[in-house]
């Protein structure tokens, strides 16, 4: 989110901006780490192009993605979901293939296990670990949520970018870590209002964890 990016940028020192493929990359240092911060935009194509541009031009040791996601009922608004596993809910390559498996890829991608298991993410009621399901639709109806849960029982969240980012990282051999804050409960009577009204508190929910994570790396 732009609000997340604006919280992060003041912490980065000696920032320079590079524009590639219409993405703005903010390059600097934070806690002795070289940091490249960018906003990928909405949807799988934007996420994939942004991630590939990042990797091919800056060769990061780790890609961290944060943003928003819809809840499936297994996580509440403003909960932070750590993407222990990430999968597509709208990908099937035909007979003989497993649902969710893009060609040449596993059916599920994984965030770096050593980071998922950091004490930072333990014993926090608002932090949950599990599967994030991605697809190129804004999930807003109960039957759409039910479809995802039929595919991935226990899935915590749905979004439009995480699996694409994870797939590019998998193909390029770059470790990835994904966490999302729950914005709304698709299918609920007031889910659109939830989505529109949560933006003030949401950026801080992931930003504070992101800042602590970078300090531990």
The vertex-198 CA angle with 123 and 204, nearest 5°, equals: 50
Sign of CA pseudo-dihedral 105, 109, 111, 113:
negative
For helices 162-172 and 44-58, what crossing angle results, to 10°?
30
Reduced DSSP (H G I as helix, E B as strand, rest coil) percent helix, strand, coil of the chain, to 5: 35, 30, 35
- Report the C-alpha gap between 213 and 120 in whole angstroms: 8
3-state SS track over 136-168:
CCCCCCHHHHHHHHHHCCCCCEEECCHHHHHHH
Q: Which residues belong to the active site?
A: 4, 184
Radius of gyration of the chain (CA): 17
Contact (CB, 8 A) for 77 and 193: no
């Amino acid at each position: 989110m732009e609000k997340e990016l604006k919280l992060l940028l003041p912490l980065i020192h000696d920032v320079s901006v590079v524009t590639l493929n219409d993405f703005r990359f903010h390059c600097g240092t934070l806690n002795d780490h070289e940091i490249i911060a960018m906003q990928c935009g909405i949807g799988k194509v934007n996420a994939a192009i942004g991630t590939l541009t990042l990797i091919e031009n800056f060769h990061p040791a780790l890609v961290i993605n944060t943003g928003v996601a819809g809840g499936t009922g297994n996580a509440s608004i403003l909960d932070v979901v750590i993407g222990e596993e990430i999968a597509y809910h709208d990908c099937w390559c035909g007979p003989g293939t497993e649902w969710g498996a893009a060609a040449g890829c596993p059916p599920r991608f994984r965030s770096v296990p050593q980071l998922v298991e950091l004490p930072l993410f333990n014993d926090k009621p608002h932090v949950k670990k599990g599967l994030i399901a991605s697809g190129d639709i804004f999930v807003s109806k109960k039957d759409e949520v039910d479809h995802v849960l039929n595919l991935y029982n226990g899935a915590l969240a749905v979004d439009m970018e995480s699996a694409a980012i994870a797939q590019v990282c998998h193909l390029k051999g770059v470790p990835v870590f994904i966490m999302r804050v729950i914005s709304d409960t698709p299918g609920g009577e007031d889910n659109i209002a939830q989505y529109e009204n949560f933006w003030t508190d949401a950026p801080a929910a992931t930003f504070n964890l992101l800042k602590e994570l970078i300090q531990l790396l």
